[in-house]
Amino acid sequence: MIEVNNLCKNYGERKAIQDINFKISAGDVVGLLGPNGAGKSTTMKIITGFMAPTSGIAKVCGFDVFENPFEVKKRIGYLPEAPPVYLDMNVGDYLNFVADLKLVDPVKKKAFIEKALQKTQLSDVKSRLIKNLSKGFRQRVGIAQALVSDPEVLVLDEPTVGLDPKQVAEVRDLIKELKGQHTIILSTHILPEVQATCNRVIIIHQGRIVAEDSIDNIEKLNQGLVTVYVKTKKEMAIATDLRNLTGVETVEVTGATSFKIQVKDEDILDNVASHIIKSGAGLRELTPAKENLEDVFLKLTYGETKI
Ligand SMILES: Nc1ncnc2c1ncn2[C@@H]1O[C@H](COP(=O)(O)OP(=O)(O)OP(=O)(O)O)[C@@H](O)[C@H]1O
Ligand SMILES: [Mg+2]
């Protein structure tokens, strides 16, 4: 659905993105995750045909973004970083205007506008001037204009930026609702956003892709070890014994009756549990802790680990 090959963009001397390659299949919801300045907006501007790359190719629905810009733009709804709204228009008129620009079939136009208003919960403010709306509502108008042509592909650059927590939750719910109806690529530097809405993530750092996988795999990717929190009933010196069990890699004593251990796989936990029970210490808790995406993200973007 979206294919990007060896994409590079230089702004003068500055290399904003270098050798970006990825494919996004129909129906995927992909998060382009990276810190400020990583190259997220640059990549999106190229995919949507707003800017030419220095080199490389971008294709959407099989059409080259620069050879067939009309075909591509017809199929894409784009929410840029700053929503492209006209402040002196009211919400309904503005969406009508965007629908005309996008050459939406006049027969379907009214229904598409209503659907976009309804999905973004803007129906009640349809007649209000955009300049009188709060920032969060303007952001929703930006999302509504991306939806108004009912495009196959949605490109959303930081869709929840500047919204209050309730609105963030609403936009995330909206994205979840749009899953299956559109192929979506969204950018963010907020990890929970990716975890809440996407099924794949592309982590970008200093203009390069440093990891790309399903959310589940990325979380596992860290080192393959399972971290487990253990609590016993009685205070007993069992750390050395646990360390000697096959498959146990590390044991850290975190309190009088608590330990953090790392094992090669979850099956080893049966042995760990029975050993603790036999020792007489009594088992109160044994909780596998999944390495979270945040740990992986921080390692990839701030540590030395490169994948
Ligand atoms: N028009 C421009 N002229 C010069 N440099 C630019 C321009 N636009 C972006 N850059 C630089 O290119 C790099 C990538 O910028 P980009 O806006 O794509 O990052 P981003 O990941 O979207 O960041 P943010 O999270 O802050 O939105 C940055 O170093 C930025 O300073
Ligand atoms: Mg940006």
Residues 270, 146 share a domain: no
Residues 230, 193 share a domain: no
**Nearest ligand (C-alpha, residue 33):** 1
Residues 230, 198 share a domain: no
Q: Is residue 18 in some structural domain?
A: yes
Residues 163, 269 share a domain: no
Q: Is residue 159 in some structural domain?
A: yes
Q: Which protein residue's CA is at the shortest distance from atom 1 of ligand 1?
A: 11
Contact 171, 159 (CB under 8 A): yes
Q: Which protein residue's CA is at the shortest distance from atom 2 of ligand 1?
A: 11
| Residues contacting 189, CB < 8 A, separation 6+ | 33, 34, 35, 36, 38, 40, 158
Among 141, 129, 46, 34, residue whose Cα is nearest residue 98: 141
pLDDT in the model for residue 293: 66
Q: How far is the CA of 41 from the centre of ligand 2 (A)?
A: 4
Residues 285, 261 share a domain: yes
Q: Is the dihedral of CA 30, 174, 46, 302 positive or negative?
A: negative
Q: Is residue 86 in some structural domain?
A: yes
Question: Which CATH number fits the domain that encloses residue 155?
Answer: 3.40.50.300
pLDDT in the model for residue 305: 40
Q: How far is the CA of 56 from the centre of ligand 2 (A)?
A: 20
pLDDT in the model for residue 295: 67
Residues 237, 143 share a domain: no
Atom of ligand 1 nearest to the CA of 17: 14
pLDDT in the model for residue 291: 56
Domains of the chain: total: 2
SS3 of 223-245: the string is CCCEEEEEEECCCCCCHHHHHCC
Residues 276, 190 share a domain: no
Q: Is residue 118 in some structural domain?
A: yes
Q: How far is the CA of 264 from the centre of ligand 2 (A)?
A: 39
- CA angle, residues 184, 187, 191, in degrees to nearest 5: 110
pLDDT in the model for residue 207: 94
pLDDT in the model for residue 304: 44
Residues 18, 162 share a domain: yes
| Residues contacting 287, CB < 8 A, separation 6+ | 228, 229
At which of 172, 205, 220 does a domain end? 220
At which of 198, 220, 242 does a domain end? 220
Q: Which protein residue's CA is at the shortest distance from atom 28 of ligand 1?
A: 37
At which of 197, 220, 243 does a domain end? 220
Q: How far is the CA of 44 from the centre of ligand 1 (A)?
A: 11
pLDDT in the model for residue 72: 92
SS3 of the chain: the string is CEEEEEEEEEECCEEEEEEEEEEECCCCEEEEECCCCCCHHHHHHHHCCCCCCCEEEEEECCEECCCCHHHHHHHEEEECCCCCCCCCCEHHHHHHHHHHHCCCCHHHHHHHHHHHHHHCCCHHHCCCEHHHCCHHHHHHHHHHHHHCCCCCEEEEECCCCCCCHHHHHHHHHHHHHHECCEEEEEEECCHHHHHHHCCEEEEEECCEEEEEEEHHHHHHCCCCCEEEEEEECCCCCCHHHHHCCCCEEEEEECCCCEEEEEECCCCHHHHHHHHHHHHCCCEEEEEEECCCHHHHHHHHHHCCCCC
From the number of C-beta atoms within 10 Å of its C-beta (0-12, 13-18, 19+), residue 119 rates as: middle
Residues 29, 15 share a domain: yes
Q: Is residue 273 in some structural domain?
A: yes
pLDDT in the model for residue 306: 37
- Residue by residue, pLDDT tens for the chain (307 residues) are 999 999 999 999 899 999 999 999 999 999 999 988 999 999 999 999 999 999 999 999 999 999 999 899 989 999 999 888 899 999 999 999 999 999 999 999 999 999 999 998 999 999 999 999 988 889 899 999 999 999 999 999 999 887 888 888 888 988 998 888 899 999 998 887 888 899 999 999 999 998 888 877 776 655 567 888 999 999 988 999 999 999 999 999 999 999 999 888 888 899 999 999 999 999 999 987 755 666 667 777 765 443 4
Contact 137, 122 (CB under 8 A): yes
Distances (CA, A) of 48 to 27, 105, 299: 18, 21, 30
Residues 251, 117 share a domain: no
Contact 140, 121 (CB under 8 A): yes
Pocket test for ligand 1, best of 41, 161, 210, 301 (most atoms within 8 A of CB): 41
Q: Is residue 297 in some structural domain?
A: no
Domain of 280 in residue numbering reads as 226-290
Residues 248, 106 share a domain: no
Q: Is residue 300 in some structural domain?
A: no
The pTM of this model reads 0.78
pLDDT in the model for residue 105: 92
Q: Is residue 51 in some structural domain?
A: yes
Residues 178, 269 share a domain: no
Question: Which CATH number fits the domain that encloses residue 280?
Answer: 3.30.70
DSSP bridge partners of 291: none
